[in-house]
Amino acid sequence: MMGSSKKNPAQLKNNTIGEDKQMNINKPAQSKRKDTNKVWDFFCSVKLAVIIILVMAVACVLGTVIVQGRAFDEYTARYGSGLASFIRITQLNNVFYSHWFSILLVLLCANLICCTIRRWRNTFLQTGFVLTHLSLVLILIGGVIKFQLGVKGGVNVYEGKSVDYFLTQKIDSSGRMDYVKKSLPFSIALDKFILEKNEPKYQIVTYVKDKDKQKIIEAKIGKRQRIPGSDYRVTINDYIPDAELKQEPVNESDNPDNPAIFLQLFGSERLIAEGWLLAHANNYHDEKKQDLRLEYIWLSSQQEFDNAVNTIQNAHAKVSVSVPELGILQDYSLELNKTFKLSGSEYSLRMLEYVLNYGDRRPISEQPANNPAVQVEIEGPDGVETRWIFENFPDWDKMHPAKYENIKISCSNIANSHMTKNVFRIYQAPGENKKIVYIRDKQIVETIPWELEKQYSFTHNSYQLTISNYYPSFNIKKDVVKKSDQIGTPAINIRIDGPNGKLENWLFADSKYATWYKDNNFAMIYESTGESVKHYISDLRIVKNNQTVMEKSIKVNDPLKYDGYAIYQSSYDAEKLSYSGLQIVKDPGIPVVYSGFGALCFGVVFIFYVKPFLRKKKKIGNEVAENEYS
């Protein structure tokens, strides 16, 4: 007998309560699953990938536009303090090594993984798809590892020495650049540094000033070459592959046209200085360490001689100015920052600075009087011009463009106007007029007649002076000789034919100065061309636990690799060749990146070759099966 389907009210009530309880139990699980799906959909979103890639593209642009890895002061100077602080806080001064850039890489990596899992169908034909996406993930992971764990720095290793550290640059929290010492788990020893050079090459360069034209000509012996667009012709007479200039002092006559003496200065029986002093050219010598000066002064008459030996007054430094078309020729005393008006003209002159040795940054009291010069400022109708005037090179301004070319300026007695603590003045005049005057603290202490080859001592000091030779008409005999048949310092003998006749001279390849023709309009220089250094090589050893574990001769782009470190040749001591500059790099992300590139290659091959082949084979198999069935 079938039972009744009716339920009493109590049973219906109990069933309803049970169903409500079950629904309430399932609600949190469904909500949790819904939230999980939202997170999954977020990481699988193509929009997320597009946004990340766009942000990274902007970051790459900023990393290119904004100078990277500099000190905070430099950013302040470039962009101002406000923007510089923003750049430092947001790490835009080190974009590719910043934490936020690494987070972007991690997000893009997670996005690729999620997208790959969602689209993956568990079939063999999906292998190419999986490999290509996996390769991008590996490359991104390798990049994150490099930026966060990689290190790069440098160290100089001296020949015969070893190091177990290197230095890296780091910007601290305040934006200052500093060097951090990083230890190595081994030592790097430099056994030998080798510098390989290319075979030297040389060229002859000519320059025509009024045409402002430069031309390279052949170094062919005996060939007469015309310089285009000018009246100059050049002939190479001779060539020496390794030349040396020998200079010998000679006397040309008995007339005192250019008097000179050879002297020796001793201190406590030790030779301090020796050499020639020329009355009309280099007539003084300074010994800065001894606070001493030697001067040779030739006087043409007995009266001048008598007046000179009784005075200590030095020559006054002066600047001479001439404007030929206005008939102006005027001398001015060397007074700094005083404005001199050139009478009868619209020009004024002001001396800004003077030095005893141009280019020497030491105080003027410590400078040798090798290259005295004055910096002058000229003000005229066309504005202000500043130029240097050199005492030993009065024609310097003729060889260099100037705003006021009509104004000729020279200077004299700059070196002679300075007096040191101890001064030995050697006076000479025709006949037997010869005296040494010793001046100390601007007071004449002693006056002694002198003769050749005698040694003289002086009170209040320990110096001895000997004048061993005298030439009435001093000159230098110059001769260029061959040192060897190998290429060392090449030299060529040239002849220039021009508007003012012929000029013959030797040009040395190591000379820093051009040879000018008589009219100062045509110049030539013989110089090396191209990079002379071929390779710089370091013979390195890796030492660990007092044992050599690896050896290699490294050069540029051929590093030594050991224990995860790559040691590159980066620089060297160009002057003494005493040390080698090494770059130390550790990049633990490289194996991961290489794995990614390998996966990418296999994935591309599978997609374009293996997958079409398998599909074609499967299609043929299906067609055969259908034919057999029918």
% of the chain residues with pLDDT over 70: 91
Domain edge (last residue) among 501, 529, 557: 529
Q: Residue 272 domain-assigned?
A: yes
Domains of the chain: total: 4
- Residues 304 and 427 both lie in one domain: yes
pLDDT at 241: 92
Q: Residue 278 domain-assigned?
A: yes
Q: Which long-range contacts (CB under 8 A, 24 or more apart) does 13-19 make?
A: none
pLDDT at 261: 95
pLDDT at 111: 85
Alpha-carbon span 196 to 534, nearest angstrom:
5
% of the chain residues with pLDDT over 90: 32
Evaluate if residue 190 carries a pLDDT over 80. yes
- Residues 305 and 423 both lie in one domain: yes
- Residues 298 and 165 both lie in one domain: no
pLDDT at 175: 61
Alpha-carbon span 341 to 378, nearest angstrom:
10
Q: Residue 132 domain-assigned?
A: no
Q: Residue 138 domain-assigned?
A: no
- Residues 390 and 524 both lie in one domain: no
DSSP string for residues in 567-591: EEEEEE-TTT--EEEEEEEE-TTHH
- Residues 389 and 429 both lie in one domain: no
What's the pTM value of the predicted model, to 2 decimals? 0.46
Q: Residue 207 domain-assigned?
A: yes
CB-based burial of residue 622 (10 Å sphere; 0-12 exposed, 13-18 middle, 19+ buried)?
A: exposed
Average per-residue pLDDT for the chain: 84
Q: For 511-549, how does the pLDDT look when each residue is reduced to its tens digit (9 = 90+)? A: 888 999 999 899 999 998 876 788 889 999 999 999 999
Q: Residue 98 domain-assigned?
A: no
- Residues 181 and 157 both lie in one domain: yes
- Residues 166 and 243 both lie in one domain: no
**Which residues are paired to 455 by β-bridges?**
466
Q: Residue 463 domain-assigned?
A: yes
- Residues 239 and 353 both lie in one domain: no
For the chain, the distance separating the N- and C-terminal CA atoms, rounded to the nearest angstrom, is 58
Q: For 7-63, how does the pLDDT look when each residue is reduced to its tens digit (9 = 90+)? A: 455 454 455 555 554 555 555 555 555 556 787 888 888 888 888 888 888 888 888
- Residues 495 and 551 both lie in one domain: no
CB-based burial of residue 470 (10 Å sphere; 0-12 exposed, 13-18 middle, 19+ buried)?
A: middle
Average pLDDT over residues 339-347: 87
Average pLDDT over residues 461-469: 92
**Which residues are paired to 353 by β-bridges?**
375
Query: Which residues of 198-341 form beta strands (DSSP E)?
Result: 201-208, 213-217, 224-226, 233-240, 242-251, 260-267, 270-278, 284-287, 292-298, 318-323, 328-333, 339-341
Residue span of the structural domain in which 521 resides: 201-249+476-529
- Residues 423 and 466 both lie in one domain: yes
In order of 11, 271, 444, the CA distances from 438 in angstroms are: 139, 19, 6
- Residues 464 and 514 both lie in one domain: no
Q: Residue 22 domain-assigned?
A: no
pLDDT at 335: 84
- Residues 403 and 447 both lie in one domain: no
Instruction: Give the CA radius of gyration of the chain.
Output: 43
